[in-house]
Amino acid sequence: MNAASAACAPSRGMQQWDRIDWSRCKHHARRLQARIVKATQESRHGKAKALQWLLTHSFSGRALAVKRVTENKGKDTSGVDGLVWRSPEAKARAIGSLRRRGYQPQPLRRVYIPKANGKRRPLGIPTMRDRAMQALYLMALDPIAETTADANSYGFRPMRSTADAIEQCFKLLSRKTAPVWVFEGDIVGCFDHISHDWMHDNIPTDKAILGRWLKAGYVESGTLFPTDEGTPQGGVISPVLANMALDGLERVLRARFVRTGQGRGRFNPKVNLVRYADDFVITGTSREILENEVRPLVERFLAERGLQLSPEKTRITHIDEGFDFLGQHLRKYRGKLLVTPSRKNVHTFLEKVRSIIRLNGAASQSDLIYALNRVLLGWCMFHRHIVATRTFRKVDLVLWHRLWRWAQRRHQMKNADWVLNRYWHPVGGRRWRFAADTGKYTAAGHRDWLTLVCANKTLIRRHLKIRGEANPYDPAWRAYFEDRRGRAGQSRRRAHPPPLRCG
């Protein structure tokens, strides 16, 4: 019995799922993806389509798709059928169920999540089988998306992050001769309004399967609703479909605003695009260029895809006034560009911290530290590449006051000195550190403490931006990405010591 038949057989599923050679599956999938990249670069679209078919019908591709949807954060979230794949037997049977012939996706389960502005964002949750099918076809589509993507697009793409987008903004706006006007673009319901006809005509994937996903509909309060436009937020493949719909805007801008240098009699409008998913900014030398030339061009580009700009949220700002982008605030002070955490981002984070402390009023100190460290570490690492030291000090100060109130409320009959010595201790070279005694000892014989992360100790270091043309599916860039992974690991370790306990 070969690996494919063994993994798909219903009997002895545990043994057969565990027998799958995952390194071999990944190698086979990467090899086909590399060939898809090469065919796309050579404009051999028929060849790329044939290689996509091989990948989506291979055992390696199907097994990796099942592995992805059963090991990610949504592995325990079911669709309208209420099914999840937890056991090895179910996972093994699922590999065999990923077949194109006779496949018909089920409607999405509509749920809502709160947004920062108080509104709710709709999410469509596919069934496990539909998620696995999307993951399978995404493996074949993503190499093409990465090969044809805009150089300065950073959202929902492998090996790219918000730090890359912010660093690109810094490079464009920090110089003395940099453009001083910024067009802040906001698209109305990007995921919900992308034209199905445009996606059918321009997305290089299986048209029949894509059409069934787009027209599957959704179920809300027991009622089935049709989907005539958009790609649902919550689908595995939806972010890539939205990215491909917006790709090409940078090339359109570059073709329209040719950079002719700074010589006498020449004019360089310095129109540049930085995009993260559906959030983007465009730079320019004057308000008139952005308002009279760039904005109409962007509106025509979006209209072809069934999208439009938000009149309320789209605005043009001078760099001396500053603007918010991806949780950061970019502004020039006396000619010097500073990137700091935005007020809105800091306020939202501090409200979350206050909520955690309030909800853990009766919890042990160790449980509270664990709960706070989970959010503190992530937030500090997110802002560690910008001018955030003053903000980190503010966060530590707010934490001190909130934790002091938390401790005093627990011991209202004790004096301040007793409360201070009960919860704050001299640890790690600091006189007072919010720390809990674990009851253990280190190898050196010192007491083992569980300590709260100190935001102000985060090491600030500039981010090394990814190269615009870098492609993680192209073997020619393999050494480059391996080097970036090594640098990123070293940067994380230096920014915050990995252990939360110290002796």
Distance CA 339, CA 78 (A): 41
- Strand pairing of 181-186 and 279-284? antiparallel
Contacts (Cβ under 8 Å, ≥6 apart) of 197: none
Say yes or no to pLDDT of 375 above 80.
yes
At 217-248, the pLDDT tens digits run 999 988 999 999 888 888 899 999 999 999 99
| More confident of the two residues 119 and 250 | 250
For residue 117, what pLDDT band results from cuts at 50, 70 and 90? low
Which residues are paired to 331 by β-bridges?
338
For residues 62 and 501, which has the higher predicted lDDT (pLDDT)? 62
Per-residue pLDDT at 264: 43
pLDDT at 496 over 80: no
pLDDT, position 492: 65
Region 177-202: mean pLDDT is: 94
Q: Which of 400, 401, 435 is closest to 421 using CA atoms?
A: 435
| Residue for token pair 């037997």 | 89
Most confident range (mean pLDDT) of 47-51, 434-438, 456-460 is 47-51
**DSSP secondary-structure letter at 236?**
S
Q: How far is CA 304 from the centre of its chain?
A: 26
Answer whether residue 469 shows pLDDT above 50. Answer: yes
pLDDT band (50, 70, 90) for residue 152: very high
Q: Which of 425, 431, 357, 450 is nearest to 395 (CA)?
A: 357
Identify the sign of the CA torsion 166, 170, 173, 178: negative
pLDDT above 60 (res 497): no
Phi and psi torsions of 84, nearest 5°: -135, 155
Under the banding of pLDDT at 50, 70 and 90, the label for residue 183 is very high
d(CA 234, CA 223) in angstroms, rounded, equals 19
What is the rounded average pLDDT for all residues in the chain? Answer: 90
**Average pLDDT of the residues in 39-60:** 97
pLDDT at 357 over 80: yes
Q: pTM for the full model?
A: 0.89
- The length of the chain in residues reads 503
pLDDT at 235: 87
Task: Give the span between the Cα atoms of 171 and 163, in whole angstroms.
Answer: 12
Q: Report how far residue 147's alpha carbon sits from residue 244's, in angstroms, rounded to the nearest whole number.
A: 11
* pLDDT level of residue 267 (50, 70, 90 thresholds): low
For residue 445, what pLDDT band results from cuts at 50, 70 and 90? low
Position 499 pLDDT exceeds 70: no
Inform me whether the pLDDT recorded for 3 exceeds 50.
no
User: Rounded to whole angstroms, how far apart are CA atoms 452 and 433?
Assistant: 7
Q: By percentage, how much of the chain surpasses pLDDT 70?
A: 91
Q: For 63-114, what is each residue's pLDDT tens digit?
A: 999 999 999 988 999 999 999 999 999 999 999 999 999 999 999 999 888 8
